[in-house]
């Protein structure tokens, strides 16, 4: 994996092109150019390492607004960039582009009878979590409720329930999408079935603007979940012990091992602030007694610095990872691993804990996949690499010149890991130019060929050119 982050900031054009002026006239209060006060706020990206500078930002209130906007941009041949939050940015919108910000389309309707939710494109998972929990149900969100349900699901969507229930993309019943021809389509296993297949795993920013999805919710109200923190000096032993644990655990457990340097920031609680740990975290969907028995593997071993595993209501799922909510500059990269070998553990421990460089603000997490992820869902989709067992994510926080150092650090880590990795990617953990360059690695070969044909059919002029690279 190579970091080739695209963060250039182009100056927006001073006067609007005719298609922009027409669009602004047709969508008053929902389309903004450089001179509008709303423009600067709307073009922000959660990952502050990036900045959009489009010709126009559209904040549609409905699928019909999206259709109008797409029609104008597509007729003008302008690139269309879609963003909910900017947690997983791919291409930045430059002066010729239209940026669609979905945040106003955030309606969520939970149906407790059918165990489903209809979710608007701009809704973050936190807006789904409350009503789902109130109905005794759970959505298949990931480690943070702060990303959009749609953006997360289009890239796969792997959370703490994944080994038991599969990916979020495996539990989609329908997707409403505006395609490059300006049509609003409701795709299902029976209608526009090819597009429905492609969007689930291959749809992020590349096939149209999704305006809403209908998903399954699952009957989970509580878990046995949490974190065990061991000192960084024990990282190698923890890695090996974790590998041994995975040989015995059921699908009801989804877990990870992380090597983490906590920043010396005030918001970080005192016992962990500025310190480094090897962390075993996860969620078990079974009785508390069985959860305790699973944790015996650790508790009968060595005493951790902190043991926070215990019964947890599903409503608190975000506390497992405690991901940051405030926007920040940084980067994320990833690799699928076939096994957690001694060499991989050693390479990560050395890089994260034992050498100079920007490592204090870097963490590496290996998540356990397999289980239901490895099985084809009821309605197959484009998502690839189902059989892979472990996904590594490397995340760093840095700005300015330190971001360049961080990228060099991660690039070196990639070089060191190269002999031991599968050479394929989980697309939700990639961003920027690396995501473009490695798009094909996210798919099985036949699926990628099919995806490209579907892309050619529904977006022949590649107006959605700033998402996955399908051309
Ligand atoms: C702190 C953090 C924790 C995370 N945890 C997990 C995790 O546990 N599991 C996991 O699988 N992933 C995780 N991710 C990755 C996350 O799921 C992806 O970054 C996801 O793409 C974010 O979606 P978004 O819509 O919020 O971001 P955005 O940057 O707005 O969008 C991401 C991509 O989706 C496209 N997109 C968004 N909305 C639409 C739409 N309506 N129509 C078409 N395309 C659209 C965008 O064009 C872009 O390509 C995490 C990311 C962060 C930063």
As averages over each run of 10 residues, the pLDDT of the chain (471 residues) reads 40 71 97 95 96 97 98 97 97 96 98 98 98 98 98 98 98 98 98 98 97 98 98 97 98 98 83 92 98 98 97 98 92 95 96 72 94 97 97 92 89 92 95 97 98 98 97 95
**Residue 232 C-alpha to ligand 1 middle, in angstroms?**
30
**Residue 355 C-alpha to ligand 1 middle, in angstroms?**
31
Question: Is 251 within a domain?
Answer: yes
233/348 same-domain check: yes
**Residue 291 C-alpha to ligand 1 middle, in angstroms?**
31
Pairing of strands 80-83, 98-101: parallel
> What is the distance between the alpha carbons of residues 207 and 95, in angstroms, rounded to a whole number?
21
pLDDT value of residue 270:
84
Instruction: Tell me phi and psi for residue 27, to 5 degrees.
Output: -125, 65
291/238 same-domain check: yes
The CA distances from residue 195 to 80, 188, 208, in Å, are 18, 9, 10
Residue labelled with tokens 């490209």: 452
pLDDT value of residue 399:
87
Q: Which residues, including other chains, have CB under 8 Å from residue 47's CB and lie 6 or more apart?
A: 86, 87, 89, 327, 328, 329, 330, 331, 431
82/193 same-domain check: no
> What is the distance between the alpha carbons of residues 281 and 254, in angstroms, rounded to a whole number?
9
Domain-terminating residue out of 101, 124, 140: 101
Number of domains in the chain: 3
Question: Is 467 within a domain?
Answer: no
Q: What's the CATH code of the domain at 229?
A: 3.40.462.20
Atom of ligand 1 nearest to the CA of 82: 47
Question: Is 7 within a domain?
Answer: no
User: Is there an atom of ligand 1 within 6 Å of 204 CB?
Assistant: yes
362/277 same-domain check: yes
pLDDT value of residue 354:
87
Q: Strands of 191-275 (E only): list them.
A: 209-216, 222-231, 253-261
Atom of ligand 1 nearest to the CA of 85: 30
Domain-terminating residue out of 101, 126, 143: 101
Q: DSSP letter at 331? A: E
Domain-terminating residue out of 40, 72, 101: 101
- Give 168-202 pLDDT, tens digit per residue: 999 999 999 999 999 999 999 999 999 999 999 99
pLDDT value of residue 356:
66
28/135 same-domain check: no
User: Is there an atom of ligand 1 within 6 Å of 205 CB?
Assistant: yes
157/83 same-domain check: no
Atom of ligand 1 nearest to the CA of 468: 49
137/71 same-domain check: no
User: Is there an atom of ligand 1 within 6 Å of 91 CB?
Assistant: no
**Residue 120 C-alpha to ligand 1 middle, in angstroms?**
14
Q: What's the CATH code of the domain at 124?
A: 3.30.465.10
Range of the domain at 317: 222-441
Q: Strands of 6-94 (E only): list them.
A: 31-32, 56-58, 80-83
Question: Is 34 within a domain?
Answer: yes
Question: Is 63 within a domain?
Answer: yes
205/298 same-domain check: no
409/305 same-domain check: yes
Atom of ligand 1 nearest to the CA of 426: 11
Question: Is 11 within a domain?
Answer: no
Atom of ligand 1 nearest to the CA of 168: 11
> What is the distance between the alpha carbons of residues 235 and 218, in angstroms, rounded to a whole number?
35
Question: Is 178 within a domain?
Answer: yes
243/96 same-domain check: no
SS3 391: strand
65/138 same-domain check: no
pLDDT value of residue 267:
79
**Residue 428 C-alpha to ligand 1 middle, in angstroms?**
6
Question: Is 30 within a domain?
Answer: yes
Tell me, rounded to whole angstroms, the distance of Cα 161 from its chain centroid.
Answer: 15
> What is the distance between the alpha carbons of residues 243 and 401, in angstroms, rounded to a whole number?
37
pLDDT value of residue 357:
57
């Amino acid at each position: 994996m190579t970091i080739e982050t695209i963060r250039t900031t182009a100056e927006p054009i001073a006067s609007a092109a005719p298609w922009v002026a027409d669009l602004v006239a047709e969508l008053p209060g929902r389309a903004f150019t450089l001179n509008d006060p709303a423009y600067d706020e709307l073009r922000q990206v959660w990952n502050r390492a990036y900045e959009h500078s489009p010709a126009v930002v559209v904040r549609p209130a409905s699928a019909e607004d999206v259709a109008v906007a797409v029609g104008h941009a597509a007729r003008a041949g302008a690139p269309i960039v879609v963003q909910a939050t900017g947690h997983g940015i791919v291409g930045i919108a430059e002066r010729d582009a239209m940026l669609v910000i979905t945040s106003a389309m955030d309606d969520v309707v939970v149906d407790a009878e059918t165990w489903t939710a209809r979710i608007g494109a701009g809704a973050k998972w936190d807006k789904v979590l409350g009503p789902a929990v109130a109905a005794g149900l759970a959505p298949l969100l990931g480690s943070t409720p702060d990303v959009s349900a749609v953006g997360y699901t289009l890239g796969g969507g792997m959370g703490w329930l994944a080994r038991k229930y599969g990916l979020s993309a495996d539990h989609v019943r329908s997707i409403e999408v505006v395609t490059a021809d300006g049509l609003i389509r409701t795709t299902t296993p029976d209608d526009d079935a090819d597009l429905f297949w492609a969007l689930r795993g291959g749809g992020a920013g590349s096939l149209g603007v999704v305006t809403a999805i209908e998903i399954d919710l699952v009957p989970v109200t509580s878990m046995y979940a949490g974190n065990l923190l061991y000192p960084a000096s024990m990282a190698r032993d923890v890695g090996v012990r974790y590998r041994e644990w995975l040989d015995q655990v059921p699908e009801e457990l989804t877990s990870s091992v992380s090597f983490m340097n906590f920043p010396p920031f005030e918001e970080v609680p005192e016992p962990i602030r500025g310190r480094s740990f090897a962390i075993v975290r996860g969620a078990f969907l079974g009785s508390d007694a069985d959860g305790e028995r699973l944790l015996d593997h650790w508790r009968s071993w060595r005493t951790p610095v902190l043991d926070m595993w215990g019964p947890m209501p599903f409503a608190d799922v975000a506390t497992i990872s405690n991901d940051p909510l405030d926007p920040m500059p940084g980067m994320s990269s990833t690799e699928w691993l076939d096994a957690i070998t001694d060499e991989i553990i050693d390479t990560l421990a050395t890089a994260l804990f034992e050498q100079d460089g920007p490592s204090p603000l870097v963490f590496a997490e290996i998540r356990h996949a397999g289980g239901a992820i490895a099985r084809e869902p009821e309605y197959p989709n484009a998502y690839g690499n189902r059989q892979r067992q472990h996904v590594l994510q490397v995340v760093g926080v840095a700005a300015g010149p330190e971001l360049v150092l961080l990228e060099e650090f991660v690039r070196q880590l990639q070089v060191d890991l190269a002999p031991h990795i599968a050479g394929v990617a989980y697309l939700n953990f990639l961003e920027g130019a690396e995501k473009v360059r490695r798009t094909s690695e996210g798919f099985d070969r036949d699926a990628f060929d099919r995806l490209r044909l579907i892309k050619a059919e529904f977006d022949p002029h590649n107006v959605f050119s700033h998402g996955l690279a399908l051309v």
